[in-house]
């Protein structure tokens, strides 16, 4: 499984508008049928300039699914972000390969 991670840093004052927009954007990305699920998280770091950072993690079944996303959908979806926010929101993307996954089952008490 491949995790496609998009980290977004935004100027102070953009967060609420961006959060509303990104929820719809995530639905569009998942609507491609190429990802199993997504997770939206806030990066817990205190920025001196008041900016905010978030991470969206999309789980792709395999490399092929991610490549199809890049070829067919990513350019237009990235352009939507640029059109709406320009340089007020900066994004960088990383790919992660899931090696193992662990879960706790039952109570720890």
CATH number for domain 2-97, candidates 3.40.50.300, 3.40.50.280, 3.30.70.80, 3.30.70.100? 3.30.70.100
Instruction: Check pLDDT > 90 for residue 48.
Output: no
Instruction: Check pLDDT > 80 for residue 47.
Output: no
Whether the Cβ atoms of residue 19 and residue 25 lie closer than 8 Å to each other: no
Question: Do the bridges between strand 52-60 and strand 89-97 make them parallel or antiparallel, or are there none, so unpaired?
Answer: unpaired
What per-residue confidence (pLDDT) applies to 105? 86
Q: To 10 degrees, the CA torsion angle through 81, 78, 56, 93?
A: -130
Whole-structure pTM value: 0.89
Of 95 and 47, which is predicted with more confidence?
95
Residue-wise pLDDT for 5-43, tens only, equals: 999 999 999 999 999 999 999 999 999 999 999 999 999
Residue-wise pLDDT for 53-74, tens only, equals: 999 999 999 999 999 999 999 9
């Amino acid at each position: 499984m491949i995790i496609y991670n998009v980290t977004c840093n935004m100027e102070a004052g953009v967060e609420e508008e961006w959060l509303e927009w990104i929820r719809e954007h995530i639905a569009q990305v998942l609507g491609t049928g190429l990802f199993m699920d997504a997770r939206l998280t806030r990066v817990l770091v205190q920025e001196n300039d008041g900016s905010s950072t978030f991470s969206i993690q999309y789980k792709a079944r395999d490399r092929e699914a991610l490549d199809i996303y890049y070829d067919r959908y990513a350019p237009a979806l990235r352009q939507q972000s640029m059109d709406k926010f320009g340089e007020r929101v900066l994004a960088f993307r990383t790919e992660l390969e899931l090696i193992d996954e662990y879960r706790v089952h039952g109570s720890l008490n």
